[in-house]
Amino acid sequence: MKNTVLITFLLLFLVSCKPTTSVIVTSKEVAQKKGIYKAPQPNKATVSTTKSAGSPSVKKGTENTKSEKKHKITDVEDTDFVADNDNTSYFIKQLINTAMQYNGVRYRGGGTTTAGMDCSGLVTTVFKTYDVSLPRSSNDMSKVGEKLNRNEIKKGDLVFFRTNGRSVINHVGLVTEVKDDEIIFIHSSVQRGVIISSTKEPYYQRTFAQANRILGEEYF
């Protein structure tokens, strides 16, 4: 009996003293599971808050993903800014703007619409927009209002021509701009329809007849 107890005790002692087999860690995943490795956390304070002269500091979470270029708009850079130093009245500006809307309309004898216009048709249509009635022909129109000297011509006046080689006026245009001794006007020509021309062009320089002010001075 004593020998059996002694043998049993020795066996239990030998089992308890058996060396434990070591586990080799071969990956970060295993190490993390065993609690012997922790992945380093990224430093969230990566945006410098140092404030340089003239530049605002950047707060965490408010920085833009794309750089934004800001422009300071001035009168010079703004395409809507138009210098106006000629003191042209608002009415005359609107009169000219209305005429310019017909720029490019083809010529049609007797026409007064966008389907086609002749020279006096263009002028009468523009003035009629503002309840100003004019004679239908350029010759009759030249007898209305005040006849002007060349240096008195302004925007909104009418210029007349003799383009048929005779003494009778047969063409009219509306003055849109005056540059020293040059007069720019809009009219409807037989060949090109409603266009902008100048008295500097040899043809109109040669055929120029007169200029009239149809409207009263209060409109200028």
Q: What is the pLDDT of residues 24-64, one digit of tens each?
A: 555 566 666 666 556 555 454 444 444 444 444 444 444 44
Whether residue 207 is contained in a domain is answered as yes
Q: Which of 105, 119, 153, 174 is catalytic?
A: 119
| pLDDT of 62 | 45
- Would you give the DSSP letter of residue 65? S
| pLDDT of 87 | 86
CATH of the domain at 110: 3.90.1720.10
Q: Which residues are 148's β-sheet partners?
A: 211
Is 119 annotated in the active site?
A: yes
Whether residue 38 is contained in a domain is answered as no
| pLDDT of 166 | 87
Q: Which of 155, 162, 171, 213 is catalytic?
A: 171
Total structural domains in the chain?
A: 1
pLDDT of 82 above 80: no
Is 71 annotated in the active site?
A: no
Q: Is 126 exposed, middle or buried (0-12, 13-18, 19+ CB in 10 A)?
A: buried
In what helix (H) or strand (E) does residue 6 lie, and over which residues does it extend?
A: helix 2-16
| Residue 91 backbone class (left: φ over 0; alpha: ψ -120 to 50; beta: rest) | alpha
pLDDT in tens, 124-174: 999 999 999 999 999 999 999 999 999 999 999 999 999 998 899 999 999
Whether residue 166 is contained in a domain is answered as yes
Whether residue 7 is contained in a domain is answered as no
- Would you give the DSSP letter of residue 107? B
Is 187 annotated in the active site?
A: yes
Report how far residue 89's alpha carbon sits from residue 83's, in angstroms, rounded to the nearest whole number.
14
Report how far residue 186's alpha carbon sits from residue 184's, in angstroms, rounded to the nearest whole number.
7
Whether residue 201 is contained in a domain is answered as yes
Q: In a 3-state reduction of DSSP, which class is residue 106?
A: coil
Q: How many CA atoms lie within 13 A of 56 on its CB side?
A: 5
Q: Scanning the structure block, which residue is given the tokens 């007898």? A: 143
Q: Scanning the structure block, which residue is given the tokens 């902008």? A: 196
Whether residue 72 is contained in a domain is answered as no
**β-strand pairing of 182-189 with 171-179:** antiparallel
User: How many CB atoms are located within 10 Å of the residue 182 CB?
Assistant: 12
Whether residue 107 is contained in a domain is answered as yes
Q: Which of 155, 162, 187, 213 is catalytic?
A: 187
Average pLDDT of the residues in 97-117: 98
Domain span holding position 201: 90-219
pLDDT of 175 above 60: yes
Whether residue 173 is contained in a domain is answered as yes
